[in-house]
């Protein structure tokens, strides 16, 4: 029989398939099953108006028949089938618009390796094609020969199409008893790198069907062997029944068919969705928010998304990230689509199903991108809405969510120079006392008339932040504070810049504006008066202090360590132990503040005048104490204890 040649562009695609460029070869099964499902759709649709077809909805099915002896995998459907002309037409060319996008990326004769090196975009697009589907040709990723035996509805004769790959195909009439199509894939021999034989294993096929084709609406059936227990005729010695086991083969439906998200809210309750989520994600905890969308418009889609209550750590894979799975009419296109929502909502899990996302590359890829963006934007609004609702209605639950995923939101605020900060700011909460967290809006709403700014204190723990001496002055005035406890918090406030027109002020480093002009002047004069003593303290203090000054902000504390400039002590510590080598030696500019109203200062002055040696010791002790209360480590504990003991 004379071989016919594939059209040029089909040949190129075929070459790629045969040379197995796609890492996820397993998608071939999804592609062949989708075609079968489409073929059934067509015949089923016709049978609605044409009784002579003699088929009921329940008669339609897809069979998977692995045959290890012949090393073939057959996908059989009783759909519409193909005539000989159609088989030639459909299996000999790839869809026009798809080939257009494809041709643009691949230049003649270029291998994929070259392409990856010389043209990153080309390589990326290739992987996208892999995700979006490649149709019938994908069979050649795992087969070295494909035979299609089909009989079109209304035709007396069938067609046999056969191809061993790029060198062409044959077509010939053949017998086929019933209407429908068999796609028979002759699975490639195993190689050192790849065990193609696994595609003939029932467990593997089942897993692939569950992964990619679980929601195909026609039953996918396969012979599955399992152990069955039966009562033996013989009894046990004590007369009790004896059981034996044998392997039985049963023809089972291996897909669950109806995607839960395709059903309306009246059919499926939120609780049903939650139960589904828990089973799918092996999460024992309820999600803390659920978003269900049925959108029709520029892009139609259904979505069912979950905000997990806790980080669901998968102990086996360490994979605890969320992820949205993309479906097109129940057929999985992409397991984790990171194009839908931004990273700050990366914890969201669930599914999006849109018939507008074509499985095949019959549309330009860019168009998918645009559709995904539209869907993504809408979903982000809905997710935010649900989180706000949770925050309003069940604050403890929101706080639990925030404990796990607040960091993603905060990182989102800082990302891309604050591009998303206004979208996210209302979702942030901060500690405002030992046991209370509030939003920035709430903080501003609580502000008394006299308060001009938002005050915050930052430390490595809530306990330390609460204990910062500079906070006392603010609290004494009846103002609330935000206590920042995570290294990224300060960057978050810097990125937000303001809230409802109010600035953020760091109680440790910023001028809080509490002092009147007269007070400021008096303080300057006082510093000049005490200059000699302050210089003496600096000389005797621990190393690394750039300035010593007097301060009115210390309330009942004798001293405090503050900083000047952009680097705070928290940032210094973060960088010292943080992941980046580059900033390890970054140091804050330390300022030692002394409280002139405190008895310690009076004792220091007294010693300075009468006993310089003692004054030197006191200066050193005060500087160490200030460091400790700001979270510095006590570097030489023995020396410090001796120093204190010498004073008695
Ligand atoms: P696409 O599905 O995007 O059209 P494919 O390469 O997967 O691209 O399939 C090409 C065409 O071959 C299909 O559109 C369909 O007309 C035909 N076809 C493939 N498989 C079957 C089948 N099982 N039954 C009937 N027609 C089929």
Q: Specify the residue with its C-alpha closest to ligand 1, atom 12.
A: 90
Q: Which residues pair with 147 in a beta bridge?
A: 162, 184
What is the rounded distance in angstroms from the CA atom of residue 422 to the CA atom of residue 380? 13
Which candidate, 393, 398, 431, 425, places its Cα nearest to that of 412?
Answer: 425
Q: Identify the residue whose C-alpha is closest to ligand 1 atom 14.
A: 90
Query: Which residue from 129, 123, 147 is spatially nearest to 13, judged by alpha carbons?
Result: 129
Tell me: pLDDT of 339 over 90.
no
pLDDT higher than 50, residue 639: yes
Task: Give the whole-number percent of the chain exceeding pLDDT 90.
Answer: 48
CB 79 within 8 A of CB 43: yes
Instruction: Name which of 171-175, 218-222, 361-365, 537-541 the model is least confident about.
Output: 361-365
186 vs 355, which has greater pLDDT?
Answer: 186
Q: Quick check: CB of 39 below 6 Å from ligand 1?
A: yes
The first and second tokens of residue 595, run together, are 């409280």
CB 596 within 8 A of CB 526: yes
Distance from C-alpha of 412 to C-alpha of 387, rounded to nearest angstrom: 15
CB 622 within 8 A of CB 592: yes
Task: State pTM to two decimals.
Answer: 0.68
Is the beta carbon of 79 within 6 A of some atom in ligand 1? yes
C-alpha 426/C-alpha 473 separation (Å) is: 28
For residue 224, pLDDT over 90 is answered with yes
The answer on pLDDT for 178 being more than 90 is yes
Q: Is 132 in the pocket of ligand 1 (CB under 6 A)?
A: no
Would you state the pLDDT for residue 126?
Answer: 43
Q: Whose CA is nearest to atom 10 of ligand 1?
A: 90
Span 259-280, average pLDDT: 86
Strands 589-594 and 559-564: antiparallel
Tell me the C-alpha distance between 83 and 149, whole Å: 10
pLDDT tier for residue 395 given thresholds of 50, 70 and 90: very high
Residue 119 has a pLDDT of 35
Structure confidence by residue, pLDDT tens digits, 465-517:
898 888 988 998 899 999 998 888 988 998 999 999 999 998 887 778 787 88
pLDDT at 114: 34
What residue's CA is closest to ligand 1, atom 1? 135
Ligand 1 mutation pick, 90, 91, 184, max ligand atoms within 8 A of CB: 90
DSSP 573-616: HHHHHSS-GGGTT---EEEEEE-TTSHHHHHHHHHHHH-HHHHH
Cα–Cα distance for residue pair 559/557, rounded to 1 Å? 6
Mean pLDDT along residues 257-267 = 85
Ligand 1 mutation target, pool 6, 30, 31, 35, most atoms within 8 A of CB: 35
Mean pLDDT of the chain: 85
Verify whether ligand 1 is closer than 6 Å to residue 199 (CB atom).
no
Give me the pLDDT at residue 92, please.
67
**What is the DSSP-derived secondary structure letter of residue 342?**
-
Residue 35 alpha carbon, nearest atom of ligand 1: 20
Q: Which pLDDT score, from 0 to 100, does residue 111 have?
A: 38
| Binding site membership of 362 for ligand 1 (Cβ less than 6 Å) | yes
Residue nearest to ligand 1 atom 15, measured at CA: 90
- If pLDDT is split at 50, 70 and 90, which confidence band does 579 have? low
State in Å: Cα 194 to ligand 1 middle.
27
- The DSSP line for 345-391 is GTT-EEEEE-TTS-SSTTS-HHHHHHHHHHHHHHHHHHHHHHHHHHH
Question: Is 326's pLDDT higher than 90?
Answer: no
pLDDT of 47 higher than 90: no
**Secondary structure letter of residue 7 according to DSSP:** P
Q: Which of 272-281, 401-410, 478-487 has the lowest mean pLDDT?
A: 272-281
pLDDT at 131: 41
Token digits for 48?
């609605």
Show the domains of the chain with their CATH numbers: 8-253 (3.30.565.10), 262-394 (3.30.230.80), 396-506 (3.40.50.11260), 517-645 (1.20.120.790)
Lowest-confidence pick of 58-72, 164-178, 433-447: 164-178
pLDDT above 70 (res 276): yes
For residue 90, how far is its CA from the centre of ligand 1 (angstroms)?
A: 6
Contact 561, 606 (CB under 8 A): no
Q: What is the pLDDT of residue 640?
A: 92
Q: Is the pLDDT of residue 94 over 60?
A: no
Has residue 221 got a pLDDT over 70?
Answer: yes
Q: Looking at the CA of residue 42, tell me the nearest atom of ligand 1.
A: 25
Does residue 453 surpass a pLDDT of 90? yes
Listed as own residue / partner, the contacts of 601-606 with beta carbons closer than 8 Å and 24 or more positions apart are: 601/558, 604/533, 604/537, 605/533
Residue owning the nearest CA to atom 8 of ligand 1: 135
Q: Tens digit of pLDDT for each residue in 407-430?
A: 999 999 988 888 999 999 999 999
Give me the pLDDT at residue 573, please.
78
Q: Which atom of ligand 1 is nearest to the CA of 94?
A: 6
């Amino acid at each position: 029989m004379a071989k016919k040649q594939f059209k040029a562009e089909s040949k190129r695609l075929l070459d790629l398939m045969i040379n197995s460029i796609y890492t996820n070869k397993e998608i071939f099964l999804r592609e062949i099953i989708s075609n079968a499902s489409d073929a059934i759709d067509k015949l089923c649709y016709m049978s609605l108006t044409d009784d002579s077809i003699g088929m009921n909805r329940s008669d339609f099915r897809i069979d998977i028949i692995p045959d290890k002896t012949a090393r073939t995998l057959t996908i059989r459907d009783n759909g519409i089938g193909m005539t000989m002309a159609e088989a030639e037409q459909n299996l000999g060319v790839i869809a026009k618009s798809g080939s257009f996008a494809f041709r643009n990326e691949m230049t003649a004769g270029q291998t994929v390796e070259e392409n990856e090196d010389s043209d990153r975009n080309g390589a990326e697009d290739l992987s996208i094609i892999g995700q979006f589907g490649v149709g019938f040709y994908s069979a050649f990723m795992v087969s070295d020969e494909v035979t299609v035996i089909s009989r079109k509805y209304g035709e007396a004769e069938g067609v046999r199409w056969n191809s061993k790959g790029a060198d062409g195909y044959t077509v010939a009439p053949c017998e086929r008893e019933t209407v429908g199509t068999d796609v028979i894939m002759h699975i490639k021999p195993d190689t050192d790198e790849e065990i193609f034989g696994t595609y003939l294993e029932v467990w593997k096929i089942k897993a692939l069907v569950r992964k990619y084709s679980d929601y195909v609406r026609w039953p996918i059936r396969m012979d599955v062997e399992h152990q069955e227990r039966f009562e033996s005729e013989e009894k046990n010695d004590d007369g009790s029944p004896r059981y034996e086991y044998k392997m039985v083969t049963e023809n089972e439906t291996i897909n669950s068919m109806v995607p839960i998200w395709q059903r309306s809210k009246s059919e499926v309750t939120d609780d049903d969705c939650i139960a589904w989520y828990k089973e799918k994600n092996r999460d024992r905890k309820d999600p803390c928010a659920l978003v269900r969308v049925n959108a029709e418009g520029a892009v139609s889609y259904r979505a069912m998304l979950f905000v997990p209550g806790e980080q669901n750590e998968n102990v086996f894979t360490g994979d605890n990230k969320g992820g949205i799975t993309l479906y097109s009419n129940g057929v999985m296109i992409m397991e984790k689509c990171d194009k839908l929502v931004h990273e700050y909502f990366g914890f969201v899990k669930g599914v999006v199903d849109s018939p507008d996302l074509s499985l095949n590359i019959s549309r330009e890829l860019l168009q998918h991108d645009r559709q995904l963006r539209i869907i993504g934007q809408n979903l982000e609004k809905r997710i935010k809405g649900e989180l706000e609702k949770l925050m309003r209605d069940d604050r403890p639950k929101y706080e639990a969510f925030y404990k796990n995923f607040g960091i993603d939101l905060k990182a989102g605020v800082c990302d891309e120079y604050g591009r998303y900060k206004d979208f996210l700011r209302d979702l942030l909460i901060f500690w405002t006392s030992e046991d209370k967290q509030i939003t920035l809006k709430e903080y501003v709403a609580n502000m008394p008339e006299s308060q001009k700014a938002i005050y915050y204190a930052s430390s490595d723990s809530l306990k330390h932040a609460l204990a910062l001496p500079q906070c006392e002055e603010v609290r004494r005035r009846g103002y609330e504070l935000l206590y920042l406890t995570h290294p990224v918090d300060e960057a978050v406030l810097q990125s937000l810049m303001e809230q409802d027109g109010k600035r953020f002020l760091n109680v440790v480093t910023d001028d809080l504006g509490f002092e009147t002009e007269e007070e400021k002047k008096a303080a300057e004069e006082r510093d000049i008066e005490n200059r000699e003593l302050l210089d003496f303290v600096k000389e005797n203090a621990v190393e690394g202090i750039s300035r010593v000054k007097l301060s009115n902000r210390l309330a009942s504390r004798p001293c405090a360590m503050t900083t000047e400039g952009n680097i705070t002590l928290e940032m210094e510590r973060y960088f010292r132990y943080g992941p980046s080598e580059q900033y390890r030696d970054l140091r804050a500019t330390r300022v030692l503040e002394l409280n002139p109203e405190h008895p310690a200062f009076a004792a220091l002055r007294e010693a300075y005048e009468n006993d310089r040696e003692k004054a030197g010791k006191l200066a050193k002790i005060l500087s160490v104490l200030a460091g400790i209360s700001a979270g510095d480590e006590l570097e030489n504990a023995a020396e410090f204890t001796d120093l204190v003991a010498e004073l008695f």
